[in-house]
Every structure is written in C-alpha cells, then in structure tokens.
Amino acid sequence: MRGLAGQPGLPDSRGPLSHAVRRQLLDGATRLPDHAAVRRSDPYGEDVQLALHLCYELHYRGFAHVPDDREWDAGLLGFRALLEAHFEGRLRRDCRRFHDADEAFADILVEPVGGSGVSHHLVEQGQLWQMREYAALRSIYQLREADPHLWVVPRLQGRAKAAMVAVEYDEFGCGRAERMHSQLWADLMSDLDLDHAYGRYLESAGSETLATVNLMSLFGLHRRLRGALVGHFAAVEVTSSPGAARLATALRRLGAGPAAQLFYDEHVEADAVHEQLVRREVVGGLLEEEPGLAADVTFGIEATGFLEDRLHARVVGAWLAGRSALRTPLGTP
C-alpha cells in the first residue's frame, strides 16, 4: 500500500506500543500507553524502535493514508517524548567509555586489527544473497541519506555551518539529482535486483537497524542535541571511507553491476575529503563557538559506534549461522 507521493504503507505492529502508535496514525483517537508501559519495555527492542520510527517518519515522507496533520498531533508528540527519553536514557548509561571528544576521535581514527563488521565479512567471505540483505537493511536510511543532518544547519553558525553545508552539498549531488547519494543507493539496489521504493524493506528490518536510523532523528529533531548530531555525523564521515573501499571490492568480487560499485567508489573518495572538513571545521568550529557541547559531541560519536556494533553483530551472527539477517527474508532475484 503506497501513497501518490511514494509514501510507504504502515508496517505491522511489533507490540503494544507500536500498535497504539499505528492506530493513532490511522484514527487519531487511540488511547496511547502511559509512562509506566514505556518504562517496562526494552528501549532497544522491536516494539520501542518501531514505535519511534513511526513517529519520526511523519517528519520525512509520512505514510500512505495517514493525514499530514498527524505530524503535529499533540498526543503522538507527547508519547514520542516518552519513547525518546527511554531510548536516550539507556544510551547514556551504555555509552560512557570516553572522557572527551579527543579520546573518542582517537578511537575511531584507527581501525582495529582483524575487524569483524559487515564490510569485513562481505569482502572476505560474503555471498551475493548476503550483500542483497545488507543493501535492503541499509535502504531504510540510505534512501533518505543526509536528510536528518540538515536539521542541524540552522542551529550552527560560522565555520561549523559553512562546512556542514559544503559537505551536505556533496551528499545531495552538487545540484544534480542523478548524483544525489540517495539516488546512487537506489541505483545500487536496482543493480542487485532489489525494489528501491522508499520504505520497501521496513518490515524486513529488525530493531538493530531501526535504532541506528532513529538515532539520527533523535539528535536531529532536538536543538539541545545539536552537538550529538555533529558527533554522529563526524563518526560516520571518519569511519566511512575504509568500509566503503571493502564493500566496493566485495561488490566487484560478487559480480555486481557498475551502478552498485559506483555508490561505494563515490564514498571512498568523497568521505576521505569530508573527514578532514568535518573534524576541523564542523566539529572544530562548533566547539570553538560552544565549548560546552564537547560532552554531547563525545556522546554522539560513542552512541553511533555502539548501535552500529550491535547491528553488525546481529547481521554477521545470523550469516555465520547460515540464517537470514532479515525479519522477512528476500526472495530469489
């Protein structure tokens, strides 16, 4: 079920919280769960993460047959705040490794020997069906790549704002629609015989995937978390290039087409440049203007790595056990 503007249909609920949000989106008159119900739930679990995703998607394209004014439904916004507090609170308890931003950057600037993430698995022993699964999972974010980061632009000033816009200009294809990174991802999916419709694989994505995407919306929608969003953005740009190189190699080994290879070839080069610009100008400029945000930048870096590690462990663990990493496995291409 899709809307006229390419809106996805509402996915099935995964528990009482996401069920209540789903009903509220449709009828606007559902009694939403209280604080106690949220606190009893797993902040990283399927129910909470899908409920958050449903709330956040209203600020992107929305859902088919859901009225646009649900975006500012007071009940949904209040309930979303409960979910966000539960999610953010748990993240802050779990992300306490680093004392400052310099220590956090030092950790991500050097790749560990013998890495065990998805890109390592795919380049060393990955199979085509696994690459297709990874592309489907990542499509939840990649088909709107860079959109959440734009929310931080009005909240920055000086060097940080100018550099952030410069990087985002690249992400959006330097004014060419066919070169937008979201379009390059859609082309990659077509090359892998996947449906590149926006939100197509939401049902297949588990809570670990949704959490990595929800993190960006959490940071982006709250001005108080602008430092955390900058930290997240920096972590992505700093760590992207080596992983992109491995995935480009894996795609060539697996015989993927040129469009699939282009996405990661583009990121190897672009993100190597972005890394320096983000570290020196975006992060450096922000902390020069607002040094009190250093702890939030650190939190953004660590939370990004923490949730990515959870996702990679879930995906690679399933593959090594000979199982699909998706909730709904893909069909044969």
pLDDT at residue 114, as a whole number: 64
**One-letter identity of residue 274:** H
Name the superfamily (CATH) of residues 101-320.
Answer: Heme oxygenase-like (1.20.910.10)
CA 224, distance to chain mean position in Å, is 19
> DSSP letter at 197?
S
Mean pLDDT of 135-157: 97
Q: Taking the CB of residue 83, how many other CB atoms lie within 10 A of it?
A: 26
Query: What is the reported pLDDT for 266?
Result: 83
How confident is the model over 185-215, as pLDDT tens digits? Answer: 999 999 999 999 999 999 999 999 999 999 9
Give pLDDT, residue 1. Answer: 44
pLDDT at residue 238 above 60?
yes
**Contact predicate 288/159, CB 8 Å:** yes
Element (H, E) at 212: helix 207-221
State the average pLDDT for the chain: 93
Mean pLDDT of 258-278: 82
Q: What does the DSSP 8-state code read for residue 124?
A: H
**How far are the Cα atoms of 42, 179, 257, 330 from residue 237, in angstroms, in the given order?**
30, 18, 25, 30
> Sign of the C-alpha dihedral, residues 79, 12, 331, 143?
negative
Spatial separation of the C-alpha atoms in residues 17 and 142, rounded to whole Å: 26
Q: Higher model confidence: residue 105 or residue 46?
A: 46
Confidence of residue 116 (pLDDT cuts 50, 70, 90): confident
Please give the pLDDT value at position 180.
Answer: 95
* Higher-confidence position of 66 and 276: 66
Residue 168: both structure tokens together: 């985002």
Q: Rounded to an integer, what distance in angstroms lies between the CA atom of residue 274 and that of residue 165?
A: 11
pLDDT above 80 (res 56): yes
Instruction: Inform me whether the pLDDT recorded for 171 exceeds 50.
Output: yes
What tokens does 114 get? 């013998």
Question: What is the DSSP-derived secondary structure letter of residue 45?
Answer: S
Model confidence band, residue 6 (pLDDT cutoffs 50, 70, 90): confident
Q: What is the pLDDT of residues 285-312, one digit of tens each?
A: 999 999 999 999 999 999 999 999 999 9
Taking CA atoms, 173 is separated from 164, 181, 184, in Å, by 15, 7, 9
pTM here is 0.95
